[in-house]
Amino acid sequence: MSFQGYLNTIKTKTGLGPDDFMRMADARGLSENGRLKPGIKAGAVVEWIKSDFDLGHGHAMAIYALLSGKRAPEA
């Protein structure tokens, strides 16, 4: 599945888009302005996404890639 495919599936399952996850990560103290804070590891994001949203590992890693700035949603 493509990165955008993961984001689309996440939106379908949760009703939340990339901007929503960026805001929630900021609120949880994982990120600032939608970018992961130094020292925050993938495991922290994966645990949050899996436990709070009942999504799989690949979906959680897509959110990590978004927050780390490694990937961006299609315009």
The pLDDT tens digits of the residues spanning 7-52 come to 999 999 999 999 999 999 999 999 999 999 999 999 999 999 999 9
How many domains does one find in the chain?
1
Residue 36: beta bridge partners?
A: 31
- CA–chain centroid gap for 48, Å, is 9
- Is residue 28 a part of any domain in this protein? yes
pTM: 0.94
The answer to whether residue 74 is domain-embedded is no
Q: Euclidean distance between the first and final Cα of the chain, in Å?
A: 18
Domain that holds residue 46: 3-68
Q: Is residue 39 part of a domain?
A: yes
Answer whether residue 75 is part of any domain. no
